[in-house]
Amino acid sequence: MSGTKDKAKGLANEAVGNIKQGVGKVTGNDKMRAEGKAQELKGEAQQVKGDVKDAVKKP
């Protein structure tokens, strides 16, 4: 997988994670808030992975 794909997946996971956190907060669902935070962190890690892949490819 290329760095760009990792970054795109990371952004998507962050967005969905933020939405889950918001819904969990509004509904008082702590489990959904936790799932959202975990997904957001996963997205951030995917973006870093993409950055590293891109950096390795450059001379």
Task: Tokens for 32, please give them.
Answer: 């959904």
Domain boundaries, the chain: 3-57
For the stretch 23-42, pLDDT in tens is 999 999 999 999 999 999 99
Sorting pLDDT into bands at 50, 70 and 90, what band is 48?
A: very high
pLDDT of residue 57: 82
Buried residues in 41-56 as b, exposed as e (16+ CB within 10 A): ebbeebbebbeebeee
pLDDT of residue 1: 58
pLDDT at 7 over 90: yes
What is the pTM (predicted TM-score) of this model? 0.85
DSSP state of 43: H
